[in-house]
Amino acid sequence: MEQDNYIGKVTRVRGSVVDISFKDRLPPLHSVLYAGINSNVIIEVLLQLDAHQVRGVALTPTQGLARGMRVKHPEKSLEVPVGDNTLSRMFDVFGKAIDGLPEPKDVAWRPVLQDPPSLASRTNRSEIFETGIKTIDVLMPLERGGKAGLFGGAGVGKTVLLTEMIHHLVGKSKGVSIFCGIGERCREGEELYREMKAAGVLPGMVLVFGQMNEPPGNRFRVGHAALTMAEYFRDDQNKDVLLLIDNVFRFIQAGMEVSGLMGQMPSRMGYQPTLSTELSKLQERISSTDKGAITSIQAVYVPADDLTDPSAVHTFSHLSASIVLSRKRAGEGLFPAIDPLHSASKMCNPEIIGKRHYQLAQEIRKNLAQYEDLKDIIAMLGTEQLSPEDRKTVNRARRLERFLTQPFFTTEVFSGIPGKVTPLEETLNGFERILNDEFADVPENHLYMIGGINEAMDKEKEKPNNSSEEGSLYEA
């Protein structure tokens, strides 16, 4: 008789929102219900309307669902598989394999909704997470066990930069890497899987995808599903985990859709009133403990390139490093199109990165900021009207800008330039030599799209007749 109480029936279907009535006891919030002809419609309970009715959001399409259909409640919430056998596999939000291979065996299943680690179990160590990308390592170093955000509008290179980081980090990382695609295009998932397989790094990775054609409830839970898998490797296996999320805005957008479907009044700029809480529940689970660390790199789409948008503002507050991508720099061909003046990291501190590194980073920013201030004068009057000191600054800053560029492995097919990884010490030496004006007479295009500074010297030797007056790739 107890079991009968947990069999309900559909009373109303409105898009992805489904109302279900039960005879006696209601299922708890966040329970999973199964409806439809073959129990193929999965619903998550989000609201208890009264003593006999609940309202849920479907995590799968609701085609074929009708009033009066029976609903089963297996007395559990949404779960995903965890274990070593999940490595090198690709899953959806329900923990089903979507890579065309058989379902993994000998795995445990855990609920996707978990509490964040307690304050007592967290660690406060500060350690640099080297990426091999010059701009990031020098000007906005990432924190091991921290959260870094890649902010940018459409088409400025967020996914390319994230994929490049996977190439650099997954191969040398001794831990586990988890890629979480929230609202991604299906071709992006397929390309990433193929590229990781070809690079030989798939055995240490787990991929979790919720594609953009899935219902909002599905996309809203993909991040939690990936985090549950990451927490298993951190807490049970004491491993360091690299969690890559693409992208956080789609998570916020899915929450906005769910909120609208549930009838909540929208808040500022149409976002859900619970935006801050929902984002915090996801971000607070990404942390370092005394057992292991979850280092997260997250792409964040910025609507209309507006960094004051609530989605960007609320995400900023959770991060230890913010990498802002500039459409202007992308238009000038300066890739990666990272804006060095708007990007920042709390790790850029002399006590953490050392006095020499800190002073070099400050000097680079100072030169680039002065060049930015002089651009209006150059546009109106030309460089001839500048003082000799300002001319030196412009000359130095333009070489710094070009040395900040780097060829990527991800873009080799399109650019024809082989990808480069540059060790931090070599990069610091290069910037130090540019700041000391050792390259004042070297054509600035020799510093464009290279790895270490010695490559510029090699180019100079190959073309001894070049002079500093030779036209550069992009004029001011």
Which uninterrupted H or E stretch holds 34? strand 32-35
Catalytic residue among 143, 164, 184, 278: 184
Locate all alpha helices (DSSP H) within 211-354, ordered by sequence.
216-235, 248-261, 275-283, 310-316, 327-331, 350-353
Catalytic residue among 25, 125, 185, 375: 185
Are 395 and 383 spatial neighbours (Cβ–Cβ below 8 Å)? no
Which uninterrupted H or E stretch holds 45? strand 41-48
Euclidean distance between CA atoms 315 and 333, whole angstroms: 28
Which residues have CB under 8 Å from 272's CB, separation 6+? 255, 256, 258, 259, 260, 264, 266, 278
Catalytic residue among 147, 158, 219, 285: 158
Are 367 and 396 spatial neighbours (Cβ–Cβ below 8 Å)? yes
Q: Which two tokens stand for residue 147?
A: 């959260």
Question: Which residues share a beta bridge with 132?
Answer: none
Helix, strand, coil content of the chain in percent (nearest 5): 40, 20, 40
Is 23 known to be catalytic?
A: no
Other beta carbons within 10 angstroms of residue 29's beta carbon come to: 14
Other beta carbons within 10 angstroms of residue 96's beta carbon come to: 11
Is 184 known to be catalytic?
A: yes
Q: Where are the beta strands (DSSP E) in 77-222?
A: 79-82, 89-91, 108-111, 128-129, 142-143, 147-152, 176-184, 205-211
- Active site residue ranges: 158, 184-185
